[in-house]
Amino acid sequence: MDVEELLTFKPVNTPKRPQDDEPGRSDDGPGEYERYRKMRRLDERPSSIRKRDEQVAPPKFREEPDDNRQRIKQLVDSLENAPEGESDVLDETAMKRMVLLFEKRALKNQEMRIKFPDSPEKFMESEVELHTTLTELRALATVPELYPKLVELGAVPSMLELLAHENTDIAIAVVNLLQELTDIDTLNESQEGSEALVDALMAGQACALLVQNLERLDESVPEEAEGVHNTLSIFENITEVRSEVCSDAAGQGLMTWILKRLKAKMPFHANKLYASEILSVLLQNTNANRQLLGDLEGIDILLQQLAYYKRHDPTSAEELEMMENLFNCLCSSLVLPSNRDKFLKGEGLQLMNLMLREKKLSRNGSLKVLDHAMSGPDGKDNCNKFVDILGLRTIFPLFMKTPPKSKKRTMSTEEHEEHTSSVIANMLRNCRGNQRTRLLTKFAENDHEKIDRLLELHFKYLEKMEKADVAIDEDLKRKRQEDSDEEEDEESVFLKRLDAGLFTLQLIDYIILEICCSGQPSIKQRALQMLNLRGGSTKTIKHIMREYAGNLGDLGDKEWRTQMQQHILNLVDKF
């Protein structure tokens, strides 16, 4: 269709909307136009239009047809004096023509559906034309610098309206278009264009409309399954450039839909993997979403989904990735104290303990979840319960011998030793009474073999730290000699030391202090004996613990950190 044809295009006649002073207007009820709008839903579809599994409420149109015609006329006027551009160049003028054609065809389809609500064959042609135009609009993704003009032309609200179109083919075409426009590589090409597009999508309630469309898609139909995947891709793209959208999207129904999708009893599908990835993103740094997950009984849902992997390994790399995503979601959610209570009441500890015993691929994830559930002052109840369910019989064999890493077992030796040491350290912090006594007794069993293991790990990570400190010093000297302006601050140096194993060394030495000061006298005797045998010194352990007391991180509140700091210093004095 050339420009001249576009400018002379006239939509099919449609019933005129009565004006305020016309006889058809009534203050007591809707006019003729409103009655036509309510007749748009159809119970029958021709074979060329796929059936939908459920209805979605019709959109509240941003503009009435008369207003649309006025805006189309303005677009035509703006094109009258526009210079003729090259046919293969997508510039502002070409974009205006594309938007004009889109608006005309959307309006024509809307009017045909209103005029012939019970005769699908009469609006079929307009629907095919609209679908074709939406496909052609995907070319706009190649010029993100024109996004501000696209927004200015009002095209984004028109696209979003079509997400609730009666024909899911049209809605999916819009989803595919938005997925192309919000592709993260495309958005990164133009900051101004990225901001303009995302602002327009948020102003148009895109999150709620996308979720509303998700709820009616049938994943047993390949095209609709692809539409689900592309919808999730839109959320991923938008949250990557604007993280605050996470809470808006979750609150507008996305988290509810994801949890429902995870629960659905159907064969494993790539969309389930993608849903778990998006859930992990939503929970990563947003406490409001963690709270929402708990309110929606999401902790129980995650535990139910993970329970399958207690005795079964994932059958593919994609399913393994999904399982790991679910474990990560659980870890993120346990940052919130209220979710730890739900985890405890939902028998999450028992499930994690069984997973550790079964020696399946889920063992690594369950170890991480235990670490998160038992850390800090909010982990007190979980620590005591873990001892009660005979968790000591599970965790200490893992502490004594790290399972060999394989292609399937992705957790490194260092990560495994960090998590097992952290679980034991958390129990020493939080357990009281009988549970603490049972814990301390473990270190005297079997000729103090666990003391030997502690000192073995102490020297292993001490050696790692000494090498890391030498490397850091050499790097600083080199930068001074080169008169480099890249001066590393204390925080970056500290983070490098943590990466080298400082945190694990601190956990191990904390355990040594606790059991030597609180356990049987033979425990301390064995620890000092092993130190002397390897040429070690108590001064080294004391120095590491003083540094640890000064960097307790963000666990607990300020009062707890102060008490913990004083407790560690008291242990240092007693040792």
Q: What is the pLDDT of residues 81-101, one digit of tens each?
A: 544 544 456 888 889 999 999
Checking if the pLDDT of 348 tops 70, the result is: yes
CB contact at 8 A, 396 and 354: no
Tell which wins on pLDDT, 21 or 309.
309
Count other Cβ atoms within 10 Å, centred on residue 550.
10
- Give dist(CA 487, CA 465) in Å, integer: 21
Q: How far apart are CA 431 and CA 438, in angstroms?
A: 10
What is the structure's pLDDT at 486?
58
Does residue 43 carry a pLDDT above 90? Answer: no
**Residue-level pLDDT at 477:** 80
Q: What is the distance between the alpha carbons of residues 277 and 160, in angstroms, rounded to a whole number?
A: 25
DSSP, residue by residue, 464-519: HHHHHHHHHHHHHHHHHHTT-S-PPPHHHHHHHHHHTTHHHHHHHHHHHHHHHHHS
Residue 492 sits at φ, ψ, to 5 deg, of -65, -35
Closest by CA position to 392, among listed 434, 344, 334:
434
DSSP per residue over 220-261, as a string? TSHHHHHHHHHHHHHHHHHHHH-TTHHHHHIIIIIHHHHHHH
Supply the pLDDT for residue 4: 46
| Residue 374 burial (C-beta neighbours within 10 Å; 0-12, 13-18, 19+) | buried
Identify the weakest region by mean pLDDT among 27-31, 70-74, 455-459.
27-31
Higher pLDDT, 163 or 27: 163
Residue 245 · residue 207 · CB < 8 Å: yes
pTM as predicted: 0.81
Q: Contact at 8 Å (CB) between 382 and 375?
A: no
Q: How far is Cα 127 from Cα 130, in angstroms, rounded to an integer? A: 5
Closest CA to 574 of 531, 507, 518, 494: 518
Q: What is the pLDDT of residues 285-341, one digit of tens each?
A: 899 999 999 999 999 999 999 999 999 999 999 999 999 999 999 999 999 999 999
- What radius of gyration, in Å, describes the C-alpha atoms of the chain? 32
Question: Is residue 18 predicted with pLDDT exceeding 90?
Answer: no
| The pLDDT of residue 176 | 96
Return the minimum-mean-pLDDT range out of 462-466, 517-521, 550-554.
550-554
- Predicted local confidence at residue 28, as pLDDT: 40
Output the pLDDT for position 2. 44
- Residue 77 pLDDT exceeds 80: no
Give the pLDDT confidence score for residue 408 in this predicted structure: 59
pLDDT value at 282 more than 90: yes
Compute the mean pLDDT over every residue in the chain, rounded to the nearest whole number.
Answer: 83
pLDDT digits (tens, 9 = 90+) for 229-271: 999 999 999 999 998 999 999 999 999 999 999 998 888 899 9
pLDDT band per the 50, 70, 90 thresholds, residue 491: confident
